[in-house]
Amino acid sequence: NIRRIAHVAALFADACTLAITSFISPYRADRETARKLHTERGLEFVEVWVDVSVEEAERRDPKGLYKKARKGELKEFTGISAPYEEPESAEIRIRGAETSVEEAVKQVVRFLEGKGYLKKGEVQEGGLVEM
């Protein structure tokens, strides 16, 4: 799935469109493949790591999936019965337990503005993009 997502994001980037995707990608090799799909085409790739403990993710879990995974009802569940390999060189690290959603968005936007991927002020309060 991560490879397919990376291909679609690269197609958007080829068309000069910023693509932001959000997925659990537990393996470094998959994330590196996604990065290479972009960099080999001369496209930018920014990895954002939302760093949150399994305990915090479990506390926030509205569907009770972690509880089911701990009971063995869900197989190969990241962080419980399947590994999660932390990123070694993510461009952005958001400490999920300490950062509100609003502040996390601001952190990403500031990074993108700093790199020139977004113009300052292009993203308004509430996440709306000026076109």
So which residues are the catalytic ones? 25
Q: Where are the alpha helices (DSSP H) in 1-131?
A: 2-14, 28-39, 54-60, 65-70, 101-114
How many other C-beta atoms lie within 10 A of the C-beta of residue 57? 19
10 φ/ψ angles, rounded to the nearest 5 degrees: -65, -35
3-state secondary structure of 70: helix
Three-state secondary structure call for residue 112: helix
Q: What sign has the CA pseudo-torsion 75, 57, 6, 21?
A: positive
* Contact (Cβ atoms closer than 8 angstroms) between residue 82 and residue 76: yes
